[in-house]
Every structure is written in C-alpha cells, then in structure tokens.
Structure 1
Amino acid sequence: MMCMLPDAVDELRESGGQNEAVDEQGRVPHGSADDPWVLDFSANTNPCSPDGAARVYESSLASARRYPPDDYCAFRAAASTVVDCEAREVIPTAGGLAAIRLTLQTSVEPGGSVLVPAPSFGEYAREVRLQGATPAFVDHDAILDADPAGHDLAIVCNPNNPTGECYDAERLRAFAERCRDADTTLLVDEAFLGFTDEPSLAGTPGVVVARALTKLYGLPGLRAGYAVATGRHRERLDTARIAWSLSGPAAAVGTHCLRDTEFVAATRERVSAERERMRTQLAGRFRVSPSDAPFLLLELDGRDTVEELLATVREHDMAIRDARTFRGLDAHVRIAVRMPDENQQLLGVLDA
C-alpha cells in the first residue's frame, strides 16, 4: 500500500481530501440499452460468448454457497497464457474498471496529477478525481509524446475508446521506458486489445495492464477482469485488492473463456471483416475514424444533428452511442460491430 508522510496526511484532512472528491463527482455516461427489445449498437460488447459458458456458470452456482479460494490459481494461469506473463503477476478483479480503480488507489497521491488521453474512456478522469488528484488532459493521438515527469501516473487506452485506433507497439514501449525513468506508473487499458493481434504490455516493468472479459467475451454482467503488474506494483495491487475479488462463478466462467482460443480467433476474423464492410459503406455519408476495435466513430456531416440521428435509429428499435459525452467531441456517434445481419439492419438506417 502507499505510504503518506505526516504533512500529506494533514493536508488531506484540511482540504477534505477524498471524501470531498467523492461528494463532487457524478456518474459517467456509458453505452448500453436497458430495453431487451432494442438492438444495441451503443455498447461495444461481443454479441457472442464462448460455447459452454452458460453450462460452466450453472455448474459453479453450488460453489457460491462458500467463499471462493482467494488465490484464484486456475484463473490466473488462464489469464497469464492469454497475455504471456507469469501467473503470479495476474491480479483478479471484478471487471476492468475495478482494475483501473485499484491501480489509481495504489499509485496516485491526493494532490497529484495524472496524464489522461482525450477523447477517451470517461471513467479515467472520474477515477483520478476520486483519488483527490487532477487529470492532465492530452490529445489521445499525442499521449505517447507527452512528458511523464512530475505525474503520478499516465493512462493509455489501447486501442483507444471511442476513436478505435491502436498505438504503434514500439512507440508505446518507448513511452513505457520514459515513464519508468520518470518514476511514473503507466496504466494501459487493454479492454479491446484482444480483438487485435497486437502484443500486450503485460509483464513490462513499471506498467500496469487492465483487462476484462466484458468486451471480447461478451459478458459485461459477469464482472470479471484482471490487472497485470510486476515488482512493487504487483505487490501493492495484490495487497490492496479486496478479499474474494471474484465470485466463484465469475472465476469459473472466466477461466473457461480465457482458455477458448478458437473463439477469439473466430471473433477477430468476423469483427475485422464486418468493420471494414461497415466503414466502406458509411464513408460516403460520415467521416469514419480508422479503427482496430469492435466499433466505429462517425462524425456527422451536418445533414442531421446527433439528436435527429439518434431518434431515427431509435424509431427502428436500435440504439447507437451519443459520442458527445466524450471530451472534445461535438458531432459524433459511435457504433458497435455486431453480427452481419444485425449490422446490415443498422447500415440500412444510417445510409438511407
């Protein structure tokens, strides 16, 4: 755990510290339609899950009558194979966001600052402020050129959400080295990296990687994820994580899914082909951002307002993401890549 000097403790008490930060924060908008009859393109989750996941969940319910083993050996081993690290470096968490919060809790001091890309996942800035720190926003496409010196932590979302592009692997590793030299923790959110064949930074000294089963495996309600770290970062994360950080069923289903390499390969092939098909068809009406992720960011050309487009799509019992909730975007929507027939339905509405 982090140690705070007496002067820092006194300053935190006088300022109201993290309690005051909590009082000042609201909730962050997210995609996802609550109506089960709506075809949801607003959330970037895989519409498919590995075969057998439901069976594993049902068979593991009996184990929920007792506490799960807190070492999560099978889950750690499965995750370590996916990202090519040591099993002990995997820290189980209840989803990727829990891994992000845990990293900030163990790396960021009240009064400190954190490099945050923009536009990017809105929870980053909120989580930074909840620690009593200040987000220092940097254009997402310039984050690897930023100077990490003087910051407690730097965040990179790879591929970035909502723009969708991956960062060059060599430049990202060079940035990780600069962060390490500056004694600045680097948090790399790899929530969507599993949709690509790009290498993970898991196991890199000075880097904490956050991953989840939410997106790639289509299980947002399972709340299963993990962080990966080495050295003192690993020790802090493992010490600070709550006991039984995954339920027994979540650990069992997570282990099953992480081992299904054929599912991942099939998902990558489908998403890549469908994303290119959708991008090509929509390029005549929208400015479509390059993407390596299971979604596309669309900038409107002025023929419709965002409100009008959202309403039109909703009239057809579909939902897309209002991307104006992302910092710096004012005429954008984001659409997920789903199954081919579903994507065709959306294309028919957007390209009308």
Structure 2
Amino acid sequence: MEHGGNIYKAAEQYGINIDAIIDYSDNVNPLGVPYSAKQEIIKNIDALSHYPDPEYRELRMAISEYTGVDYKNIIVGNGATELISLFIKVLKPRKALVVMPAYSEYERELVINGAMVDHYVLKREVNYKGDINELCSMVQGKDIIVVCNPDNPTGTAFTVQEINKLAKVAMEYGAFLMVDETYVEFTDDISLFSSSSIINKYSNLFIIRGFSKYFGIPGLRIGYGLTSNLNLIENINDKKDPWSVNLLADMAARAVLRDEDYIRRSRDFMYTERRFMAAELKKIGNLKVYDSVCNFFLCEILSNISAREITENAIKKGMLIRDASTFKYLNNRQFRVCIKLRNENQMLLNFLKSVL
C-alpha cells in the first residue's frame, strides 16, 4: 500500500539523494520541525532513561488546552493510524460507510476486521463537494460512518453544522461517526470545520487528529482522539499497547501545542500561500484545479498526458508529485500537490507550465 509518493522508493529507483528531492506528496507543513520541539528533545535527552507516563496526563492536559476539549475526553496513540485501527477493532462494525475518495487505511482496517464497506462518493461533476443530505440518507443500517474532514485528496470539507447533522442522524440509527481531522488546522478558520465543539452532544462521535502534518513531525508518530464516550476510551486503552507514544514524542508534542509563534506563522503562511498557489495553478493551460480549504490541491490534466507521465518527469527533476489515480474514484489524469515554501512552489509552477 502506498502512502503519499514514497520518497524512499523514488530516491532508490531514480538514484537521487533523498535530501535532493522536494516532496510535494507528503502534505507536511513546509515550515518544518518547530524549534520548540527540537529544543525540548535536546534539553530532555537524558530523560530517555525513564518510561513515559502510561496515562500521558501532561500531554492530554496540553491537548485539552489546545483544543478546548476536557482532559478526560482525550486519548493519545502512536500516530492517527494506531487510533483508527484500535477504534475499528473495538467497534467491530459489520457494515460501514466511508466517504470517498479517501485515505486507504480506513477501508483496509474495516475489511481486516470483517466489515462490509459501502461508499458515499464525492462527485467530480460538483467539484467533489459533498451533499450532507445525500450522505445522511445512506446512514441507516450502518454501524460506522467514516469521514476525512477536510478530505484527502480532494481538499473539500463539510462544515461543523453539516457534521452536526450527520452525527445526529448516525446517533438516531445507532451508528458511530469517525471524523479524521488531520488537515483541519490548515484551514483559514478551524471553528468552521472542526467538530471538537460538538463532542459533548454526541457519544457516538470520535474525532482523530495528529501531529505529523500541521506540526511537521511525522517521524515522531503521535496522534490523539477526542470523544465524550468514556467507555470507548476505556475499551481502546484496554487494547492499546502500553507506552505506545515514546517519551520524546510526548515532550515534543507538549512543546509544539504551546508554541504560539509556530502556530501563528503557520496560519499566516498558509493563508497567503494557498491563495497564491490557487491563483497561479489556475493560470496554467490544460489544467483544472479544484478548490481546497487546506494545504494541498487536486489537479486534473485536460490534455492528452497522464498523471503518471507528469510524476515521472517531475521526479527526474527532483520533485515528487502524488499520482492521484491510486485513489479509488479518481482517474489517470489527476494528481495532488501540497503547498511548500514560495521558491519551491514557484519551481513546481514552472515545471507544470513547461509540460502542459
């Protein structure tokens, strides 16, 4: 299974040093590892002689301060992927509904655990914007609904009001709703799209977030879940390996959550650069660019060139682009690129202009 463009495989296949590749497929904050995380790790390196707190109390308190969600309604894990897996294992759903196209791990875990999976497909004809009423009409008979919000790879999103309606319908039919908010912090206004403000209303709602993308530390593998369902948290903890989050990841995560400068710079940078990239990409002939609320764009080639040709030409120039045809319901003319630093974005724009 491929996650992103796989920079290691590309470097080996084309004989390029990894450090010489600009990865437009990883969707990671281009401002890089926060200085606060580096300092925290260096300062506490000798703490490696201790085990982490198995209850991660200080980390959960920091997440509580950051999200406004009560400390007791927070669970941490070894990346968002561990929590996705554990949530599905605990639930043991028989019938699932997944909003597509989406991250492949959702369906993989559901199938591994014996679920039959139906899809609500975001439609190309309406620029991949979901219809919440249509989605709600498919909830009956399902045990779990899975939504990536904002959606990867399309960059579209449901508002919190729409998720509220979906959670209510799901509760009426006895279904759980899992919302993956990995990319919500890249939006202009988190409060428009995040469901964290409504978890106390719905015991069937489980929200997942991570530190990999927005805080730029995917190598530390740390994520967290939000839910008012304390029985669910207890059941997940019962199945979770002890100390699944290492001590340095715990400390670095606490530091970045309180790093107001990094958060402000990231917000300001993304606000400006997303508008720049959207405008410039739309100027390129033979290219359709779908509107995005987060840090990447789904693009569609309108000429007789495949996404594979584009990505292969790009990697030879040290640029890794995601061929989106690997996502179900997308086609061989579509690719995804994430926002990088201005000079890197300009390199990408120049490349696309030269091949389209």
Question: Does TM-score exceed 0.5, indicating one fold?
Answer: yes
Aligned to 2:26: 43
Q: Any idea what the Cα deviations from partners look like across 1:245-276, whole Å, max 9, x if unmatched?
A: 21000100011111123312221221122122
Aligned match of 1:201 in 195, 198, 201?
Answer: 195
State which drifts further: 271-280 or 213-222. Answer: 271-280
- Pick aligned residue for 1:345 from 344, 347, 350: 347
What's the counterpart of residue 5 of structure 2? 31
Counterparts of residues 259-298 of structure 1 (less than 5 Å)? 259-283=258-282, 284-285=284-285, 286-298=287-299
Say if 2:230 is the partner of 1:229.
no
Deviation at 1:29, TM superposition (A): 4.1
Which of 334, 343, 353 lines up with 1:332 in the alignment?
A: 334
Q: Does 1:246 align with 2:248?
A: no
Instruction: Deviation per CA, 1:267-317: give whole Å up to 9, x if none.
Output: 122112212211211213311111011100001112422122112212221
**Cα distance in 1 for residues equivalent to 2:58 and 2:35:** 19
Rounded Cα–Cα distance in structure 2 between residues aligned with 1:228 and 1:137: 24
The answer on whether the counterparts of 1:29 and 1:325 sit within 8 Å (CA) in structure 2 is no
State the distance in 2 between where 1:351 and 1:135 align. 40
Q: 1:106 Cα shift? A: 1.4
| Residue identity opposite 1:38 in structure 2 | I
Counterpart of 1:75 in structure 2: which amino acid?
Answer: L
Q: Counterpart in 2 of 1:103?
A: 87
TM-score (norm 1): 0.88
Structure 2 match to 1:7: none
Tell me if structure 1 keeps the 8 A contact 2:36–2:259: no
Is 28-37 or 175-184 further displaced after alignment?
A: 28-37
Q: Distance in 1 between matches of 2:263 and 2:40?
A: 18
Give the conservation status (yes or no) of the 8 Å contact 2:136–2:169. no
Identity of aligned residues (%): 28
* Equivalent residue runs for 1:182-221 within 5 Å: 182-196=173-187, 197-199=189-191, 200-202=194-196, 203-204=199-200, 205=202, 206-221=204-219
The alpha-carbon deviation at position 61 of structure 1 amounts to: 3.0
1:282–1:351 Cα contact (<8 Å) kept: no
Partner of 2:108: 126
- Contact 1:169 1:198 (C-alpha < 8 Å) held by counterparts: no
The answer on whether the counterparts of 1:275 and 1:296 sit within 8 Å (CA) in structure 2 is: no
Q: CA deviation at 1:241?
A: 2.3
**Counterpart AA for 1:39:** I
In the aligned structure 2, how far is the partner of 1:274 from the partner of 1:303?
Answer: 29
Give SS of 1:147's match: coil
CA separation in 2, counterparts of 1:132 and 1:65? 41
Match of 1:114 in 2: 96
Letter in 2 for 1:349: F
Q: CA deviation at 1:38?
A: 0.5
Q: How many residues align?
A: 324
Q: CA deviation at 1:51?
A: 1.9
Partners of 2:80 and 2:279 lie apart in 1 by: 31
SS of alignment partner, residue 44 of structure 2: helix
Give the letter for the 2:173 counterpart. Answer: A
Residue of 117, 133, 136 corresponding to 1:145: 136
Determine the C-alpha separation between the residues in 1 that align with 2:179 and 2:291: 20
Task: Output the amino acid matched with 2:62.
Answer: A
For normalisation by structure 2, the TM-score amounts to: 0.87
Question: Structure 1 residues 146, 120: closer, same or farther in 2, change over 3 A?
Answer: farther
Letter in 2 for 1:209: I
- Kept in 2: contact 1:113–1:134 (CA 8 A): yes
1:193-222 deviation digits (Å, cap 9, x = unpaired): 111222332334221011100000111111
CA contact (8 A) 1:108 1:153 kept: no
Q: Does residue 67 of the first structure (1) align with residue 66 of the second (2)?
A: no
In structure 1, what is the Cα distance between the partners aligned to 2:214 and 2:3?
Answer: 21
Give the AA of the match of 1:341: N
Conservation of the 8 A alpha-carbon contact between 2:63 and 2:257:
yes
In the alignment, structure 1 segments of 5+ residues that lack a partner are 1-26
Give the Cα separation in 2 of the matches to 1:147 and 1:60: 50
